[in-house]
Amino acid sequence: MINALRGFRDILPPDSEMFAEIEGKAREIFGLYGYRELRIPTLEKKELFIKSTGTTTDIVQKEMYAFSDAGGREIACRPEGTPGIARAYIEHNLNQSGRNSKFFYVANMFRAERPQAGRYREFEQIGAENIGNASPAADAETIAMLVSLLEKIGIKELTVDINSLGCAECRKTYREELLQFLRQHKETLCEACQGRIELNPLRALDCKIDGGRLAETAPVMKLCPECEKHFNQTQKLLGIAGISFRVNRNLVRGLDYYTRTVFEVRSNAIGSQDAIAAGGRYDGLIKSMGGPDVPAIGWAMGVDRVALLVNAAREAAGIAKDGNTVRTFVLASVKSAPEEAATKGFMLLNMLRKAGISADFSNFEASFKSQMRSADKSGADFALIIGEDELKNGTVSVKDLRNKSEQKQIRFEEVADKLAIINE
């Protein structure tokens, strides 16, 4: 017996249907905001993530699924979507298309993290990237879009934390200040942070081990007048959009490319500490990758985590998790003419589906009792039965499986039409 890899999972029905439902709602919201889908490859050159996600991040230092292929190329399974979108934007000169560069993706990501509930090694993100718009209105729009998506999905008790990480100027002074503070506390830092504070002191504030403790006493970044203005305007517009949020000056995020606005969304509904979605501005990333000097902002939502929350909420509300079922179930059981009955049953299935009515069957060769058991289990509303009499008269018996009412015989040719009325 070969099992799935640790942290990699099968998404079985009805959970798979829940994923599709979430994706469907996201597509509707993206349409409202003018986002279009960009499908990026699963594998990229490893270098892409080193240059964008960042050398001092946990993702690049510890969590990447990277390997060299048969041709000796260094390859990585994408741990996040932003670098691939930025690469595609540069590679296809999308800044010259004259259109808004607002892209979304629905894609699986790979990170070799320690698996736990809501944290997997392969997981799905729905992400949005708005490239080319430096206005605080883009920040507010992006966050408002995320909140309206989560609300549409039915996530309750949302908290939105926002912060500004400033620009290169704000950071220059802050970096020194923070570094001094961290050097004073060096002995108390974890091994990874001890090794990276000189390269990227901000990373320590986001460390899973020390981050929370350090953030309590660490100095807070002072913003330059331009960044301050941007941050204030973003907050004002979020207020206008009716979004409740909290300014959290300790929020730093675990990726290297962020500038100015960053944000994280959590839900207290099941007491989980993990973010269900997060993002921010990355005004310098595309230029640093060899592309044009364009600002950008985006976010990604963890679909696995959102699905867990929706399931928990539905369970608490007593809503059954039954998922998709078929509308009709066809039974054919005629001892004296099994093949003829099976052929009729098969024709009936075809007729129903052509008429847009979902239909299923089990095994026409099995006993009537066993076929009836399958019909009951299928969750179908109607059983359509072809027995001895029906075969002779050219009819089908319709049994309402929900209301257990009397069976009705209808003419074989009329089944689809008659059921189509019920189907409406």
Chain contacts with ligand HAM (rule: CB under 6 A): 80-82, 111, 113, 119-120, 123, 125, 127, 129, 254-255, 275-280, 282, 298-300, 302, 304-305
Smallest distance, ligand HAM to C-beta of residue 7, A: 8
Q: Which uninterrupted H or E stretch holds 59?
A: none
Residue nearest to ligand HAM (CB): 302
Rounded distance, CA 411 to CA 420, Å?
Answer: 14
Strand partners, 108: 124
Residue closer to ligand HAM by CB (options 125, 378) is 125
Residue closer to ligand HAM by CB (options 132, 302) is 302
Residue closer to ligand HAM by CB (options 278, 419) is 278
Contact (CB, 8 A) for 353 and 346: no
Smallest distance, ligand HAM to C-beta of residue 133, A: 13
How wide is the angle at C-alpha 365 spanned by C-alphas 360 and 368, nearest 5°? 75
DSSP letters for 311-351: HHHHHHTT--------SEEEEE--TT-HHHHHHHHHHHHHH
Smallest distance, ligand HAM to C-beta of residue 82, A: 4
Q: Which of 64, 62, 38 is nearest to 49 (CA)?
A: 64
From the number of C-beta atoms within 10 Å of its C-beta (0-12, 13-18, 19+), residue 198 rates as exposed
Residue closer to ligand HAM by CB (options 80, 360) is 80
Contact (CB, 8 A) for 272 and 118: yes
Residue closer to ligand HAM by CB (options 262, 415) is 262
Smallest distance, ligand HAM to C-beta of residue 282, A: 6
Smallest distance, ligand HAM to C-beta of residue 349, A: 40
Smallest distance, ligand HAM to C-beta of residue 298, A: 3
Residue closer to ligand HAM by CB (options 22, 386) is 22
Strand partners, 110: 122
